[in-house]
Amino acid sequence: MALSGGVDSSVAAAELLAEGHEVVGITMRLWGGESDTGCCSVADVDDARRVAQQLGIDHLVFNFTDDFHEHVVEPYVQAHRDGITPNPCIECNRHLKFHRLSERADLLGFDAVATGHHARIVERDGVRYVARGHDPAKDQSYVVHMLPQRELARTLFPIGHLTKADVRERATALGLRTASKPDSQDVCFISSTGGRTQFLGTRIPFRTARVVDAVDGALLGEAEALEMVTLGQRRGIGLPGGGPKRYVVDIDHEAAVVRVGDESMLSVSTMTVGQTAWAHQPVTGEVLVQCSAHGDAQAAVIELVGDSVEVRWSAPQRRVAPGQSVVFYDPTDSYVLGGGIAR
């Protein structure tokens, strides 16, 4: 059982025990630097250890800091250098919290791996899929969309059938120290004091960029850090206040030019998705597509074009920043077919 030190994984462990499983708590030490947010602080490891003590289960700590740096931190920095907006938490799930942990589970002879994600696993015609969690407000199927059949076959989501209120109620009833602990919301290696600017500023050189009108090319201002600008951004791009609302509608990274315009200029009818991962096999046709962890899935038709997926929206949608995860759900919006990265 992956114990993060939060209330969800604490209750998930208790649920497994109640079902009669032999449970060992595992905490992954991922980030070795400064951390005061997310799920990687020293306090979180202590909370996980103490919950394990309360539940009467063994607790182990696996040091995956090198893997985390290789698969999450370095790509995060490189993405900003290249003008891409990454999703590090999904890459952490992909490479560490499932793949790497599954490898360690194999090595030690465990039968299954469990996490505290608000998601479920369903079976359709002998094929397993990640399904939405019971609590729509906390559903995390989007962030675990990449699981293949091998991992779906031995992954457990013990709280997927519970609402967040149910989870906290059960934690309180069990007297778990994490019962009232707030949810982690931020990237674990980005401190709340310095933020992305400080983290990236010590690792890559920031370049200034001209901010111009997307229609007539008129110079409007100057962005201090091109590497911090993302598609759809409105604030913090060096524009004077008091004028009309302008959004970043295009970034020419090579020329160091940011083009801004009316919000309507972000509306598109198609998009391209690469680096796809499918639950079973590639899918074409009518699906629902979700482009952010808490966004609403929208109707679209997808088509395979080479190694990419072309998405044709049923109604125009706001353009998705390159680097963000795009997840395909079945037309009933209940389970994940696959997903990839916006180009």
Average of per-residue pLDDT across 320-324: 96
Indicate if 318 and 278 belong to the same structural domain: yes
Q: What is the pLDDT of residues 84-118, one digit of tens each?
A: 999 999 999 999 999 999 999 999 999 999 999 99
From the candidates 39, 40, 89, 188, which is the catalytic residue? 188
Average of per-residue pLDDT across 297-326: 97
Question: Which domain CATH number covers 249?
Answer: 2.30.30.280
Model confidence band, residue 48 (pLDDT cutoffs 50, 70, 90): very high
The share of the chain scoring above pLDDT 90, in percent, equals 89
Lowest mean pLDDT among 182-186, 301-305, 326-330: 182-186
Given this model, what pLDDT does residue 36 score?
55
Indicate if 225 and 316 belong to the same structural domain: no
Given this model, what pLDDT does residue 156 score?
98
Q: What is the pLDDT of residues 19-38, one digit of tens each?
A: 999 999 999 999 877 655 55
pLDDT at 173 over 90: yes
Indicate if 39 and 166 belong to the same structural domain: yes
Domain ranges, residue 255: 205-261
Tell me phi and psi for residue 313, to 5 degrees: -70, 145
pLDDT at 130 over 90: yes
Indicate if 41 and 169 belong to the same structural domain: yes
Report d(CA 294, CA 135) in Å as an integer.
12
Question: Which domain CATH number covers 67?
Answer: 3.40.50.620
Q: Of the candidates 321, 77, 324, which has an alpha carbon nearest to the alpha carbon of residue 206?
A: 77
Indicate if 44 and 162 belong to the same structural domain: yes
Indicate if 165 and 65 belong to the same structural domain: yes
Model confidence band, residue 191 (pLDDT cutoffs 50, 70, 90): confident
- The pTM for the full model equals 0.94
pLDDT at 134 over 90: yes
Indicate if 56 and 169 belong to the same structural domain: yes
| Inter-CA distances, 71 with 66, 74, 88, 92, 94, Å | 9, 7, 9, 7, 9
Report d(CA 91, CA 68) in Å as an integer.
9
Indicate if 240 and 286 belong to the same structural domain: no
Report d(CA 56, CA 50) in Å as an integer.
10
Indicate if 105 and 235 belong to the same structural domain: no
The amino acid occupying position 79 is A
From the candidates 39, 89, 92, 291, which is the catalytic residue? 92
Indicate if 307 and 230 belong to the same structural domain: no
The verdict on residue 68 lying in a domain is: yes
Average pLDDT, the chain: 94
The verdict on residue 192 lying in a domain is: no
The verdict on residue 185 lying in a domain is: no
The verdict on residue 123 lying in a domain is: no
pLDDT at 315 over 70: yes
Given this model, what pLDDT does residue 258 score?
97
Residue 291 is among the residues annotated as catalytic for this protein: no
Q: Are 209 and 258 in contact (CB under 8 A)?
A: yes
pLDDT at 40 over 80: no
Given this model, what pLDDT does residue 38 score?
55
Higher per-residue confidence, 227 vs 191: 227
The verdict on residue 133 lying in a domain is: no
Q: What is the pLDDT of residues 201-219, one digit of tens each?
A: 999 999 999 999 999 999 9
pLDDT at 287 over 60: yes
Residue 40 is among the residues annotated as catalytic for this protein: no
Indicate if 112 and 31 belong to the same structural domain: yes
Indicate if 36 and 168 belong to the same structural domain: yes
Average of per-residue pLDDT across 110-135: 97
Structure token digits, residue 286 = 């009518």
Q: What is the pLDDT of residues 59-75, one digit of tens each?
A: 999 999 999 999 999 99
Model confidence band, residue 260 (pLDDT cutoffs 50, 70, 90): very high
Model confidence band, residue 155 (pLDDT cutoffs 50, 70, 90): very high
Domain count, the chain: 3
